[in-house]
Amino acid sequence: MTAPVEARRLTKRYGTLTAVDNLDLCVQPGEIYGFLGPNGAGKTTTLRMLLGLIRPTSGEVRLFGRAPGRLDGVGALIEGPAFYPYLTGRDNLRVMARHAGVAPARVAAVLDQVELTVRAGDRYATYSLGMKQRLGVAATLLKDPRLIVLDEPTNGLDPAGMADMRLLVRRLGAAGCTVLLSSHLMTEVQELCDRVGVIAAGRLVAESTVAELRGEPGLRLVAAPAGRCRGTGPKPARPARRPGHRRRSATHRAPRPALPS
Amino acid sequence: MHSPRRLSRSGDATRLADDIRAETTKLVRRPAIWALLAIAIGLSLTFTYLIPYAGYAGGTGGPRADRGLAALLPDQLVGNSIGGLPVFLGALMLILGVLAVGSEYASGTWKTVVTQDPARLRVYAAKLVTVCLAALAGVLAVFAVGAVASIAVALAESRTMTWPGAGDLLAGVGAGWLIAAMWTVLGALSGIALRGVALPVGLGLVWLLAVQNLLALIAAPLLGWVAQLQKALPGPHAGSLVAALGASGDTPGVEARVSGDRAALIVGGYLLVFAAAGDALLRRRDIL
Q: Which domains does chain A have, with CATH numbers?
A: 1-73+149-261 (3.40.50.300), 80-144 (no CATH)
Partners of residue A80 in chain B, C-beta under 8 Å: 108
Residues 6+ apart with CB under 8 A from B156: none
End-to-end CA distance of chain A: 34
Tens-digit pLDDT profile for residues A49-105? 999 999 999 999 999 998 877 888 999 999 889 999 999 999 999 999 999 999 989
d(CA A116, CA A112): 6
d(CA B175, CA B265): 11
Q: Does A87 touch chain B (CB under 8 A)?
A: yes
Residues 6+ apart with CB under 8 A from A214: A190, A253, A256
Structural contact between residues A199 and A46, judged by C-beta atoms closer than 8 angstroms: yes
* Phi, psi (deg, nearest 5) at residue B104: -65, -35
d(CA A197, CA B167): 69
Strand partners, A88: A123
Residue A68 has a pLDDT of: 77
Q: What is the pTM of this model?
A: 0.86
Single-letter code of the amino acid located at B224: G
* Phi, psi (deg, nearest 5) at residue A52: 80, 10
- Residues belonging to chain B: 288
Tens-digit pLDDT profile for residues B83-142? 999 999 999 999 999 999 999 999 999 999 999 988 899 999 999 999 999 999 999 999
Question: What is the mean pLDDT of the segment spanning B197-207?
Answer: 95
Q: What is the ipTM of this complex?
A: 0.87
Q: Look at B26 and A105 and tell me if their CB atoms are within 8 Å.
A: no
Partners of residue B118 in chain A, C-beta under 8 Å: 99-101
Partners of residue B21 in chain A, C-beta under 8 Å: 98
Please choose, from the candidates B85, B188, B236, the residue with its C-alpha nearest in 3D space to the C-alpha of residue B146. Answer: B85
* Phi, psi (deg, nearest 5) at residue B255: -160, 135
Confidence of residue A259 (pLDDT cuts 50, 70, 90): very low
d(CA A176, CA B36): 48
Residue B29, number of CB atoms within 10 A of its CB: 16
Tens-digit pLDDT profile for residues A141-165? 999 999 999 999 998 888 888 998 8
Partners of residue B109 in chain A, C-beta under 8 Å: 82-84
Q: Given B30, B107, B116, which is nearest A99 (Cβ)? A: B116
Q: Look at A139 and B112 and tell me if their CB atoms are within 8 Å.
A: yes
Model confidence at B9: pLDDT above 70: no
Q: Look at A99 and B111 and tell me if their CB atoms are within 8 Å.
A: no
